[in-house]
Chains A and B, each alone.
Chain A
């Protein structure tokens, strides 16, 4: 009975409150009640304020920690993205250089380019070689010269169906017949006596003219039965020092290679065009 009356009363209040205009008796009573309750609410708010502030402080602290954790994770992701972008930009730069070389005047006309990426690098300082992602299935042949956009880097010394091993110019066994592009002074480029990737232009007789700053390119000689493995005119490096002594038969010419052997990512394998092609 009581409950029913209360429910009916509540429904009546809802109806009146809902339908009544702003100046009606129910609204006025509600406003008066709200005014009467206001001091209690203010008092309760003031009493609770320190606790709410403490809660707000701890909540913001917790949120700040959560935000910091989220931001750290985001920062890590962005850092990885930056690294990936740098790597991609570097790769793009190298590929652009390769393309420029491919379309440049120094690219040998009687060779076909096979682009490949480096899939493994020398395991130690003693193995001056890289493995590239192109093999006999792609047309790569043994002893094919390998270049980057900067210049010659080595020679294919082993071929599988889908990969090839490229022995770099910095390997002790490498030797390339080369000449000074300006003076035509001929010699053989091999690993120099110094530390690092410095090359040496050996077998340059004392009467030949070689100067610091001259560019050294492949000689690409050809005789009646034999020919050089390398095409003519591929840049190798720049002469950094020239010396000679009375006891030596040849000049000591140091060559700084154009290619950076420590960061080779993409290469072009030069394959001789088939006869009649």
Chain B
């Protein structure tokens, strides 16, 4: 019987360095989203690099990292935009968790897991955001939120998916590669 020692898939934060790298990634993505991408309107939609980063990260590192990263990223956005604290955090927590679960289960090893997850979560976050803002009593046009901005946002996020996924893989997989099995024990 042969068993591998060590971890082949890095789930959760393994080291402090790993935590810092992912935190920096989320912080940069949130700042870039708030400062650079939010004012950009292409064909009526706005690309969401934080959401794409979160999805890619969650697919790589699992649901717990996805949820924590989503909460942190959303909180940064809420703080930076001086919006209702916790709204984006709640949405991205759920989004990160869902993407992580998808990566751990059905999406594992699938070629199109990233674009599929990005597209689906973009839609779900739009619907969730609309519902949440509606419950908070904000005046939101459903047509604007779900048609005018969402439809162009999906391809824009898909365009970001490939380079962001490469970046996330370079940042978040470093730990994973170091955790690979270094020796093999033969159990008799």
Binding site for B on A (CB under 8 A): 2-3, 6-7, 9-18, 26, 30-31, 33-34, 37, 40-42, 44-45, 48, 51-52, 55
Establish whether residues B68 and A30, one from each chain, have CB atoms under 8 Å apart when the complex forms.
no
Residues of chain B with a CB closer than 8 A to A10's CB: 71, 74, 86-87, 89-90, 93
Contacts of B90 in A (CB 8 A): 7, 10-11, 14
Q: Given A3-B64, A55-B40, is A17 in contact with B80 using a C-beta cutoff of 8 Å?
A: no
Q: List residues of chain A with CB within 8 A of the CB of B97.
A: 3
Q: How many angstroms between the C-alpha atoms of A4 and B87 in the bound complex?
A: 15
A sample of 23 inter-chain contacts (CB < 8 A) reads: A2-B64, A3-B64, A6-B71, A7-B94, A9-B71, A10-B71, A13-B75, A13-B86, A14-B90, A14-B136, A15-B86, A17-B78, A17-B86, A26-B85, A30-B78, A33-B79, A34-B80, A37-B79, A40-B31, A40-B35, A41-B35, A45-B35, A48-B36
The reply to whether A14 and B68 contact each other, CB–CB distance below 8 Å, is: no
Q: How far is the CB of A164 from chain B (nearest CB, A)?
A: 61
B78 to chain A: closest CB distance in Å?
A: 7
- Residues on A with beta carbons closer than 8 Å to the beta carbon of B67: 2-3, 6
Interface residues on B, range: 20 to 34
Digitize B54-81: 1 where CB-to-A-CB distance is under 8 Å, 0 elsewhere: 0000000001100110110011101110
Is the CB–CB distance between B79 and A34 below 8 Å?
Answer: yes
Whether B34 sits at the interface, judged by CB under 8 Å, is yes
Name the 9 nearest CB pairs between A and B, nearest first.
A13-B86, A10-B90, A17-B85, A33-B79, A14-B86, A44-B35, A48-B36, A3-B67, A10-B86
* Closest A residue, CB atoms, query B80: A37
